Amino acid sequence: MEEKEKLIQDIQNLLNSYDGESVTNINPKLLEYMDESDLKKIIEDLLIQKENLLENNQEWLEQFKKN
């Protein structure tokens, strides 16, 4: 598999890892104009977003432990 195809697949997998969300399919033709560094930046941003979501959920859950 070409590196760009793998990166696009990774992006798709990250988008589909959110519970309760519908399946996301990315048409590779839409991302063909992007280079590998652009795709890697998208992956990095998605990972940061996912980490922030997990941290926020953890903080939310912690407030119930205190009460």
Q: What is the pLDDT of residue 19?
A: 65
CA separation for the pair 21, 62 (Å, rounded):
25
Per-position DSSP letters for the chain, written without gaps between them: --HHHHHHHHHHHHHTTSTTPPP----HHHHTTS-HHHHHHHHHHHHHHHHHHHHHHHHHHHHHHH-
Provide the pLDDT confidence category of residue 64 given band limits of 50, 70 and 90: confident
| Residue 38 clears pLDDT 90, i.e. is over it | yes
Q: What is the reported pTM?
A: 0.71
Q: Nearest CA to 24 among 35, 33, 36, 15?
A: 15
